[in-house]
Amino acid sequence: MRLSTVGARAMGLYRFDGKMPKIHPGAYVSPRAAVIGDVEIGDGASVWEFAVIRGDMNKIRVGKNTSIQDNCTVHATFTEPTTIGNLVTAGHNSVIHACEIGDNVVVGIGAIVLNGAKVGSGSVIGAGAVVTENTLVPENSLVLGIPGKVVKEVSADMHETFTTNAELYIELGRKHKEELERSKKSK
């Protein structure tokens, strides 16, 4: 096995159809995540345990400082890629499927965003909500329920809380990356 392949596996990266995920050197990908094929991940972003980002049908782009948390699934279709903006929080167990997520969005724990949906910047998709196909969520909307409905605008306080949380994840990703490097060196 070539050394470069060993390094990729140590970060949970897999080539598909001639395409290897492109991970910014400042991003952290857990070795227990699976990032496959046509995927690009920006500086300061993090991909956590057992998250799956599967770029086999179409491209998937993850912006700067975005966290893709544990067990999150990101996929696309042959006709619709998936784009996730900067400083996005994709919560634990969320599903982001063939859609567009703007900057500073929170996709809450266990929430689902379906094909063709566009979630405007600054919006919060509450825990467990389902944004149905082709829904356009205006900027700064709080969406709750199944099917997801806009219930109000995101307040300045809520925006600040979620931004602080997203920024904590940048630091947490750095620490995990350092631990990973240390453990590789000590082997």
Interface with ligand COA by CB under 6 A: which residues? 89, 91, 106, 108-109, 124, 126-129, 144-145, 165
Q: Rounded to the nearest 5 degrees, what angle is found at the Cα of 163, between the Cα atoms of 110 and 150? A: 55
Q: Between residues 57 and 68, which has the closer beta carbon with respect to ligand COA?
A: 68
Q: Between residues 69 and 82, which has the closer beta carbon with respect to ligand COA?
A: 69
The least CB distance from residue 22 to ligand COA, in Å, is: 26
The least CB distance from residue 107 to ligand COA, in Å, is: 7
Q: What own/partner pairs with CB < 8 Å and gap ≥ 24 does 180-186 have?
A: 180/10, 180/11, 180/28, 180/31, 184/10
Q: Between residues 37 and 126, which has the closer beta carbon with respect to ligand COA?
A: 126
Q: Between residues 127 and 172, which has the closer beta carbon with respect to ligand COA?
A: 127
Residue 40's Cα: distance from chain center in Å? 11
- Decide: 113 and 131 in contact? Cβ < 8 Å: yes
Whose structure tokens read 């940048």? 170
The least CB distance from residue 103 to ligand COA, in Å, is: 16
